[in-house]
Structures are given as structure tokens and as C-alpha cells.
Amino acid sequence: MKKLCATCPYLLADWPDVLQVKDLQQILGVGRKEIYRLIRKGELPSVKVGKGYRVLKINVAEWLMENTLPVVKKLRI
């Protein structure tokens, strides 16, 4: 099991626990196609629900912490 980062629970505190593609677009500041690319490549773990995808907020927080510049990681957001 992966160890949770200390700041992950607070990183996206104002968002629901389960995020939709439209939420991810706002959080990451990218388009729909980029979100689907991340999901397709398995970079963002997701579950298909009907025609859409859902991603756990904790997975997004961890992905952000793992994929940010080292300077941002040192800030301890």
C-alpha cells in the first residue's frame, strides 16, 4: 500500500471526494482531451461509471505532489 503524503488531504479540501472530468479540468487547468489522456495512460487511476469517469480526490492530490517541480514540493502546501 502506498504511503499518503502529509499534505494530500488538505490539498483539495474544497472539492468532493470523487471527481468528474469537468472537476479535473478546473483543478489541473487543462482540457478534456488531456484528462482523458492521463486516464487512458493510467497516470490517474479512475473508474468508468456509465459513459464518464470518476477519480478519487486523494489520487489527484498524490498525482499533483508526485508531478510537481521539486521547489513546489518543498513549500509544503
Domain boundaries of the chain, sorted by first residue: 8-74
Higher pLDDT, 5 or 27: 27
Exposed e or buried b per residue across 53-70, where buried means at least 16 C-beta atoms within 10 angstroms of its C-beta: bbbebbbbbbbbbeeeee
pLDDT mean over 69-74? 53
Of 61, 60, 28, 65, nearest in space to 44 by CA: 60
Which pLDDT band holds residue 2 (cuts at 50, 70, 90)? Answer: low
Measured at the CA of 17, the angle between CA 48 and CA 50, to 5 degrees, comes to 20
What is the pLDDT, as a whole number, of residue 1?
42
Q: Record the pTM.
A: 0.76
Q: Which CATH entry fits the domain spanning 8-74: 1.10.10, 3.40.630, 2.120.10, 1.10.3470? A: 1.10.10
